[in-house]
Structure 1
Amino acid sequence: MHADPKGAEERGGSGGVGQMLVATLLTVVLLGAIGGAVAVATDPATLPIREVQVRGNLRHLDPAHLRAQVAPLAVAGFFTVDLEAIRRSLLSEPWVADASVRRVWPATLRIEVEEQVPAARWLSGGYLNREGERFLAPAGDVSEPLPELDGPEGREGEVMDRYRRLGERLAPIGLGVRRLVMDGRRSWRIELDNGLQVRLGRQELERRIDRFVAVWTRYLAPRAARVVAVDLRYSNGLAVRERPADQPVKGG
């Protein structure tokens, strides 16, 4: 008795087609299950954000205000919430220097906020932070006294750096800077914390300050109450303006 090769081939072919059909059906079922799971996971009703935590050393920012600000962006659900969009929203707040946002399982958003620290008032509006970056918070938000700085747009960092260097140079003789202004010609003028007005000019700034410190220590400090202004815009000297002898000194 002989086997029928043709019949074996037909039976083998039918088995291969069946296996392919089963594999295809399994793939369809698996994809459907994955799709269903993704749909469930991304449905805001399945895993909603139930809590927004705001952390940070905050003096001028209200955590409740920040939570309310990001609330419309947190309705997307735990897996689909756009963390970068929330961060951008927070950075639009003038007092926010930086922010980070992350998910905390199973239903929390944790926001870490770094608040701006004002180092000076910018006379044209807003404040400068310690890096010399300007931020436009309302003027009434800060009650503590701050130095007043000003200059052309884009020169904020340079003005802050000059303020620091002047402070370091003047501190040993007991003086500080109350106001520092760079005008449009890049000429500097200073008001010291004792009310003295100083014209520094545009050139040889370090040399001129050194000259002022030397003259102040030797000659001007003993009669500081009468000195009104000092002009340092000279190559080898300075000009001093004093109150008239018959004009009383404040506090005297």
Structure 2
Amino acid sequence: MISLKKDLNDKQLEQIFDQLKSVADLNNLLDIKIRLEEISSVHSVYVARKWPNNLELDIRLEKAIAYWNDDAYINDRGEVFIADYLVGGDLPQLYGPKGSAPRVMEVYQQFNRVLFKSGNVMKLLKLNDRGAWEFHDSSGTKIFLGNEDIRERLQRTVDILYEIENESLGTPKLIDARYNNGVAVEWNNKLEIAKNSKLQRDVSL
């Protein structure tokens, strides 16, 4: 008899029992643990034998922090896993090239701490093949940081967003922080240059 210490849904149970079928000897607790931890969505498994013939499984599932690219999830350690049955809800979306998941998660956590202090959160973070960073905040504004001095550019962006909110200027469509001394702000077909943390509305396209 097999008992589980964690409530699992039907699809999770099906995957667990399918994996157990590959275990030749159910008396081999280490083999059971190894086999079950091969499941991408399983973080760890504790296996115990209970008298007289009961097998107890304590299964810890991976916790999804964000969607990864368009076909997976990512945990807080930057590990990617597949779990079709997970319901992500309002998870942020992270994108990056192959092998970049740990770095993208690290930057996501760092950026989110900075944004959170200003009452904002990140909804999307993307690292492209050229090493340039882009993110979207909770208001839908797209921010381009490029591939150099990204922390300094992030802080400059946060300062500008604070000033925009403080002056009740509305929600910008796009902020381009890939400048040495300022940022470019796009307002629905209008481009304004902000320099030295001051919005100067004297340049438009």
1:36-47 correspondence runs (5 A):
none
RMSD: 2.3
Displacement of 1:149 after TM fit? 0.1
Which structure has the highest strand share of the two? 2
Q: Which amino acid aligns with 1:176?
A: V
SS in 1 for 2:178: coil
Equivalent residue number for residue 147 of structure 2: 202
SS in 2 for 1:112: strand
Q: Identity across aligned pairs (percent)?
A: 25
Query: Residue 94 of structure 1 is aligned with which of 40, 43, 46?
Result: 40
CA distance in structure 1 between the aligned counterparts of 2:189 and 2:56, rounded to whole angstroms:
64
Q: Cα–Cα, structure 1 residues 110 and 192, in superposed 2: closer, same or farther, change >3 Å?
A: same
1:183-194 correspondence runs (5 A):
183-194=128-139
1:114 aligned onto 2:60: yes
Equivalent residue number for residue 126 of structure 1: 72
Displacement of 1:107 after TM fit? 1.1
CA distance in structure 1 between the aligned counterparts of 2:170 and 2:9, rounded to whole angstroms:
39
1:211 aligned onto 2:166: no
Equivalent residue number for residue 135 of structure 1: 81
Q: Which amino acid aligns with 1:120?
A: A
Q: Which amino acid aligns with 1:111?
A: L
Equivalent residue number for residue 187 of structure 2: 242
- TM-score of the pair, normalised by structure 1: 0.68
CA distance in structure 2 between the aligned counterparts of 1:65 and 1:209, rounded to whole angstroms:
42
Q: Which amino acid aligns with 1:105?
A: W
Displacement of 1:174 after TM fit? 2.2
Q: Cα–Cα, structure 1 residues 68 and 53, in superposed 2: closer, same or farther, change >3 Å?
A: farther
Displacement of 1:177 after TM fit? 0.7
1:1-252 correspondence runs (5 A):
51-56=1-6, 58=8, 62-63=12-13, 66-67=16-17, 69-71=19-21, 73=23, 76=25, 81-138=27-84, 141-219=86-164, 222-225=168-171, 227-244=172-189
Displacement of 1:94 after TM fit? 2.5
Q: Cα–Cα, structure 1 residues 175 and 126, in superposed 2: closer, same or farther, change >3 Å?
A: same
Q: Cα–Cα, structure 1 residues 219 and 60, in superposed 2: closer, same or farther, change >3 Å?
A: farther
SS in 1 for 2:182: coil
Q: Which amino acid aligns with 2:30?
A: E
CA distance in structure 2 between the aligned counterparts of 1:100 and 1:70, rounded to whole angstroms:
14
Which structure has the highest helix share of the two? 1
Displacement of 1:170 after TM fit? 1.1
Larger Rg: 1
Q: Deviations over 1:87-139 (max 9, x none)?
A: 2221232321111222222212111111111100001421001221110112x
SS in 1 for 2:47: strand
Displacement of 1:71 after TM fit? 5.0
SS in 1 for 2:180: coil
CA distance in structure 1 between the aligned counterparts of 2:148 and 2:51, rounded to whole angstroms:
60
Displacement of 1:176 after TM fit? 1.2
Q: Deviations over 1:16-37 (max 9, x none)?
A: xxxxxxxxxxxxxxxxxxxxxx
How many residue pairs align between the two structures?
A: 189
CA distance in structure 2 between the aligned counterparts of 1:171 and 1:65, rounded to whole angstroms:
38
